[in-house]
Amino acid sequence: MTFFAFTGAVEQGLVFGLMTLGVFITFRVLDFPDLTVDGSLPLGAAVSSILITKGLNPWLSLPPAMLAGFIAGMITGFLTTKLKILHLLASILTMTALYSINIKVMGGRPNIALINSPTVFEPVRQFLISLDLNPWLTSSLLFLVLVSIVVGIMIWLLRTEFGQALLATGDNPGMITSLGVNTHFTIVVGVGLSNALVALCGALVAQNQGASEISMGVGTIVAGLASIVIGETIFGTRYLIVRVISAVLGSIFYRLAIALALSFNFFNPSDLNLITAILVVVALCTPKIKAHLRNRGYRSNA
């Protein structure tokens, strides 16, 4: 793997770390497999891009992108809690609807180029140049700062009363209802927050690659899940703080693993989905295989 491929993978890992944190809220905190993210990532990209092309400051395009993601997540939450549609199916429905909506948001086109538009990276680049620093790591630095802030907010949030209610909703909804929490509310807000982060990720990815594009969300959920599982396998699941941070680190390792796989000429970029799927299967099975081997050890000792 070249050095350039390495730094590129870290940069991707950091920005998709925001998406992974979003997926962490649904998959791990709420125990809610949410496929909305495949649609809310391009939604964030579309909202941010269209606002930038209309002349809005790229930084100011981020909150509307997050709001759009939040609403998308809330719709999935609403379909699940109030209309009693199975969570997996509800999220697929929202994701499907978002395909049409994203094209509408982008003014009827499947993509928007941002090559000559201002982005959030420009002021950071100027700042680095003014400090006589080489600006080639601009995006990585900005992503590192943003993802650190989000990690901090998430650790704080999950330890508040509201965050604890979110965790309890995922762990034992019957119990937390008997303690006075409306789980419909926690699920709707939780899935909303998750998709707000995913949309933020989409907006930043679009600005970084210079375009938003309708199909950029394909495979988001699998990548997010792979990142979480890789992080958990390496760093364990005992402490909440570790789990949140390892979601981001897992995202970086995931992108590095892909960069490494692609650096062998044996693989084509189109093999990516196959590699990812195999990676997730292996990562999901590892704890079970470990436990199986441990138990066999006990048996042979007995």
Partner 1 sequence: MATAPMLKASGLIKYFNRGTINEVKALNGLDLNVAPGEYICIIGSNGSGKSTLMGCISGTSPPDYGRTVLDQQDITYWPEHKRAGLIGRVFQDPLAGTCASMTIEENMALALRRGQRRGFRRGVGNQERAKFREALARLELGLENRLTDPVGLLSGGQRQSLTLLMATLIKPKLLLLDEHTAALDPKTAGLIMELTCSLVDRNQLTTLMITHNMQQAISFGHRLIMMHQGRIILDFNQTDKARLTVRDLIQQFHSAAPDLSGLLSDRLVLG
Positions that interact with partner 1 (CB under 8 A): 157, 159-165, 167-168, 171-172, 174-183
Tokens read off for 7: 């730094």
CB of 197 to partner 1, least distance (A): 18
Partners of 212 in beta bridges? 112
Q: Is 288 exposed, middle or buried (0-12, 13-18, 19+ CB in 10 A)?
A: exposed
Place of tokens 């790229």: 58
CB of 96 to partner 1, least distance (A): 31
Nearer to partner 1, 28 or 255 (CB): 28
Integer Cα distance of 9 and 23 in angstroms: 20
Cβ neighbours of residue 96 under 8 Å, at least 6 residues apart? 39
Nearer to partner 1, 31 or 209 (CB): 31
CB of 24 to partner 1, least distance (A): 14
Partners of 112 in beta bridges? 212
Cβ neighbours of residue 35 under 8 Å, at least 6 residues apart? 88, 91, 92, 95, 221
Nearer to partner 1, 107 or 287 (CB): 287
Nearer to partner 1, 125 or 184 (CB): 184
Integer Cα distance of 302 and 128 in angstroms: 64
Partners of 113 in beta bridges? 211
Nearer to partner 1, 108 or 180 (CB): 180
CB of 141 to partner 1, least distance (A): 30
Tokens read off for 4: 């350039």
Nearer to partner 1, 126 or 182 (CB): 182
CB of 81 to partner 1, least distance (A): 12
State residue 121 phi and psi, 5-degree precision: -80, -25
CB of 156 to partner 1, least distance (A): 9
Nearer to partner 1, 75 or 167 (CB): 167
Question: How many C-beta neighbours within 10 Å does residue 90 have?
Answer: 24
Cβ neighbours of residue 153 under 8 Å, at least 6 residues apart? none
Q: Are the C-beta atoms of residues 176 and 166 closer than 8 Å to each other?
A: no
CB of 184 to partner 1, least distance (A): 9
